[in-house]
């Protein structure tokens, strides 16, 4: 890059003095290098794919489709799972009149826990083709436990399952059960 030097005539005797220029650094090569590095890292890195789970939801009904009748799930063909706080899971096969503290049973998320219970309930169902698992997460449940239960649905090949809210009569017994187990646990510091 060529630069022009400006000369000034000095005061005494007409001496010519050159003006002192500040040194300039050309930034163009550094910018080019930065863009090359940026492109290199963009092309050589891999982008992480989001983890998604297919829920297999039914399609929206069309306006001219007939409205299906409400189907009631029989207790002998279903099991209800309540996802609680502190990674706890409870289950029952009772209706609102017969559910009590003894019927609401607790299990674990491992293969000897909930998986075995789902398989036993499925084997004892009156109509195995219509066996339904009803998943009811409480307000205290964590997302990881919900995903674990959906994984168990795939492992046990339970194709019929639903997610719904905890009924008030179930919630009352669940809270009593949680309160009783908290009172029975020794206090820790």
Chain segment 84-117, per-residue pLDDT in tens: 988 899 999 888 888 888 888 998 888 889 999 9
Which among 109, 99, 184, 189 is positioned nearest to 142, based on CA atoms?
109
| Mean pLDDT of the 66-89 span | 82
| 189 pLDDT tier (thresholds 50, 70, 90) | very low
Give me the residue label for tokens 């080019």: 32
Cα–Cα distance, 46 to 87 (Å, whole number): 34
Backbone phi, then psi, for 135, in 5-degree steps? Answer: -100, 125
**pLDDT for residue 45:** 83
Would the pLDDT of 120 be above 80? yes
More confident residue, 5 or 172: 172
Q: Is residue 124 very low, low, confident or very high in pLDDT (cuts 50, 70, 90)? A: confident
Q: CA-CA-CA-CA torsion for 82, 109, 133, 62, nearest 10 degrees?
A: 90
* Helices (H), ranges, 124-185: 143-155, 168-184
Residue 147 DSSP SS3? helix
How high is the mean pLDDT of the chain? Answer: 81
Element (H, E) at 106: strand 105-107
Distance between CA atoms of 158 and 152, rounded to whole angstroms?
8
Average pLDDT, integer, range 58-66: 77
Q: CA distances (Å), 64 to each of 39, 58, 59, 61, 67, in order?
A: 54, 17, 14, 8, 9
The span from the CA of 26 to the CA of 29, in Å, is 7
137-183: pLDDT as tens digits: 998 899 899 989 988 888 988 888 888 899 999 899 988 888 876 55
């Amino acid at each position: 890059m060529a630069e022009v030097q400006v000369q000034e005539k000095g005061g005494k005797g007409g001496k010519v003095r050159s003006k002192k220029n500040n040194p300039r650094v050309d930034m163009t090569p550094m910018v080019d290098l930065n863009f090359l590095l940026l492109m290199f890292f963009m092309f050589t890195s891999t982008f992480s794919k989001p983890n998604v789970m297919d829920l297999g939801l039914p399609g929206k009904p069309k306006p001219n489709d007939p409205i299906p009748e409400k189907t009631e799930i029989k207790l002998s063909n279903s099991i209800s799972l309540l996802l609680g706080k502190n990674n706890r899971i409870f289950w029952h096969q009772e209706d609102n009149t017969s559910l009590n503290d003894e019927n609401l049973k607790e299990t674990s998320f491992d293969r000897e826990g909930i998986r075995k219970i789902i398989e036993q309930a499925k084997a004892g169902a009156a109509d195995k083709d219509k066996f339904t698992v009803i998943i009811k997460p409480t307000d205290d449940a964590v997302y990881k436990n919900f995903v674990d239960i959906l994984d168990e649905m795939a492992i046990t090949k339970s194709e019929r399952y639903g997610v719904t809210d905890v009924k008030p009569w179930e919630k009352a017994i669940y809270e009593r059960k949680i309160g009783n187990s908290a009172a029975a646990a020794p206090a820790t510091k």
